[in-house]
Amino acid sequence: DDFGKQCLMARRMAESGVRYIQVNYADESTNPRWDQHSNMSKHEFHARATDKPVAGLLADLKSRGLLEDTLVWWGGEFGRTPFSQSGDGRDHNPRGFTTWLAGGGVRPGFSFGATDELGDTAVENKVHMHDLHATLLHILGLDHEKLTYRYAGRDFRLTDVHGRVVEEILA
């Protein structure tokens, strides 16, 4: 209910011209964030709480002609290992995880990259976090390389002087 209201509010904000909107999912009754190191059966609850509201948000944006100009980015802090942690949980997995993008000039209806047969490690079309950030900035109209500044004899930028725009995912 709460997450659905946030998605509805996000759509209304997009209609009103708000340029950057962030929606967060949290289940305060059991865990302040979706971070299941234990109690994997709780994932079904989380999926049910987020799946329909996100689908509704995307459908609303599309039906109102807003999706083509609105980038929706869904992700978490890490992926999850494909094996058990402490019997009924899964640990963080920075070697292979999923994020998805919709609208905003991203190619629709395809996937990019793959993990090994266990779902543990990225093996095909790897996208480093610096690449994802460079791509997101590009979609938002910013050249990540032009955001470089020099401090204490070293170059810095949001993509840590790395990253490439992943042109393959752009429409």
Structure confidence at residue 161 (pLDDT): 85
Which tokens hold the place of 3? 């997450």
Structure confidence at residue 27 (pLDDT): 66
Rounded to an integer, what is the distance from CA 130 to the centroid of its chain? 13
**The dihedral sign for the CA sequence 55, 21, 61, 96:** negative
Structure confidence at residue 160 (pLDDT): 86
Helix (H, G, I), strand (E, B) or coil at 73: strand
List the chain pLDDT tens, one digit each, 171 residues. 889 999 999 999 999 999 899 998 876 665 555 566 777 777 788 888 899 999 999 999 999 999 999 999 998 777 777 777 777 777 888 888 889 999 999 999 999 999 999 888 999 999 999 999 999 999 999 999 999 999 999 999 888 888 999 999 999
Helix (H, G, I), strand (E, B) or coil at 15: helix
H or E, element range at 50: helix 42-63
Strand partners, 93: 79
Structure confidence at residue 143 (pLDDT): 95
H or E, element range at 115: strand 114-115
Report how far residue 148's alpha carbon sits from residue 27's, in angstroms, rounded to the nearest whole number: 38
Strand partners, 106: 170
> What tens digit of pLDDT does each residue of 72-114 get?
999 877 777 777 777 777 788 888 888 999 999 999 999 999 9
